[in-house]
Amino acid sequence: MATLQVRDIDDRLYSYLRTSAKMQNRSISQEVVTIIEKYVNSTQNNFKNSTLEFLSLSGAWKDDRTPEEIISEIKKGRYQSSRFGERNGIFD
């Protein structure tokens, strides 16, 4: 079997993994493998029609704003986001 080593895991994420593993009576390593297996199995069906899905997006983005206005809005959203702030959820 292959070995996977992950470094620099956020403390909150590691705490979540430890709690989840304990609730399932698994080691942290077993819990991570289970999470990865679930993810891979759930996304297997999504790859079948990826090309058709991509092609369906052609022309889907219509916007009357200039590129400069769009870029300005994206940059403003980056600074005003609370996504990575300290909150109760693991992925706020």
**Which tens digit of pLDDT belongs to each residue from 19-58?**
999 999 999 999 999 999 988 887 666 666 777 777 777 7
Which residues neighbour 36 within 8 Å (Cβ) at sequence distance 6 or greater?
none
% the chain with pLDDT above 70:
77
In a domain, 89, yes or no: no
**Residue 90 and residue 16 in contact, taking contact as beta carbons nearer than 8 Å:** yes
In a domain, 71, yes or no: no
In a domain, 84, yes or no: no
In a domain, 37, yes or no: yes
Give the residue-averaged pLDDT of 2-18.
Answer: 91
In a domain, 65, yes or no: no
In a domain, 28, yes or no: yes
| Count of domains observed in the chain | 1
The confidence score (pLDDT) of residue 86 equals 58
The confidence score (pLDDT) of residue 41 equals 83
> Between residues 83 and 2, which one has the greater pLDDT?
2
Q: Which domain holds residue 14?
A: 9-45
Q: How many residues does the chain have?
A: 92
Which residues neighbour 39 within 8 Å (Cβ) at sequence distance 6 or greater?
none
In a domain, 75, yes or no: no
In a domain, 35, yes or no: yes
Is the model's pLDDT at 14 over the cut of 70? yes
